[in-house]
Amino acid sequence: MSANPDQLKLVKEHSRPLPTFCVARAPESNRVFFGSADFKVYEGDPAAAKFEPKELYGHESYVTGLALADNMLVSGGYDGKLVWWDIKQNKQVRSTQAHTKWIRKVVATRDGKLVASVADDMVCRLWEGNSGKMLKELRGHQEQTPHQYPSMLYAATFSSDGKHLATGDKTGHIVVWDVDSGNQINTLEAPVMYTWDPVQRRHSIGGIRTVAFSPNGKWLAAGGIGKIGNIDHLEGKPRLEVFEWAEGKKLLESETDKFKGIINHIEWAPDGAWLVGAGGAADGFMIFFDAKGKKALRQEKGGSHIHAFVFDASAESLITVGHNKICVYEMKG
């Protein structure tokens, strides 16, 4: 049985002085790690009676990606660096200048053997989780948008078996990769998530902000925002698209009416029964969908604009991080 979205309830809420962009949770423990706009990485348990986050180390800019690879916490930031921190010995192991532009996402395989990082240099790099050795460079995204402005590479995710990797960019272009060979297997398109204003600002907004494989590996969900009228604000509808990626078939396009804003993070339930997207504009939201995203099961206002979240192993506990707040939810049946 999966955790039940109908039982979702807020149990803790903590104010923070600055936005928190990313979060990682050590398996079967209460150790939770956070990356912040103050350039620092913290550890703390937001479910504890008293939340007292401890500073671990810093970057030279925003910390925007965190992933756990066995005993290594790997963080990425707008400084283009990846930092490896040994969570058992509580010390920094290495720092690598991994990208030439802002790092947007850091993810790891479930077994912790591989780490992937994506950045606005439009490159995905694969690294050994423990040694930090770079293994491959994956180049399948254009450096410029169709309107000749710099693009951005926001999203990455591994399949649960670690055999496939998906990456998504600002223009709505998704690439699915074979991890062993580094070859492209397929490409998918979600162009509605990209808005270009040719008149008022000559500027674009949107993009694939998050991707997630279903537990069985057959479907790939992508989250972002629908078409936007005023590109100075996130006034479009949260948008979810689901693909049967191996066939290149789009199963669903869904936009919800209750909230406005961008979906920054998607996760599937461990049994694949539902998926949840979180994000926001001025305020935050969480939207739960059925397995193929055909209908919204529940839509809830978040404590703030949500940048990321993390489940425990059962998905009965959910920690969200975002603009000036960290929240803990439970979904116990």
| Domain range summary for the chain, segments of one domain joined by + | 5-330
Beta carbons within 8 Å of 247's beta carbon, 6+ residues apart: none
pLDDT at 234 over 80: no
Topology at the third CATH level for domain 5-330:
Methylamine Dehydrogenase; Chain H (2.130.10)
Q: How far is CA 271 from CA 4, 7, 160, 223, 251, in A?
A: 11, 17, 12, 20, 19
- The predicted pLDDT at position 331 comes to 93
Q: How far is CA 309 from CA 23, 54, 108, 144, in A?
A: 6, 19, 15, 30
Full-model pTM:
0.95
pLDDT at 1 over 60: no
- pLDDT, average across residues 29-52: 95
Q: List, for residues 186-209, the tens digit of each pLDDT value.
A: 999 999 999 877 765 556 678 999
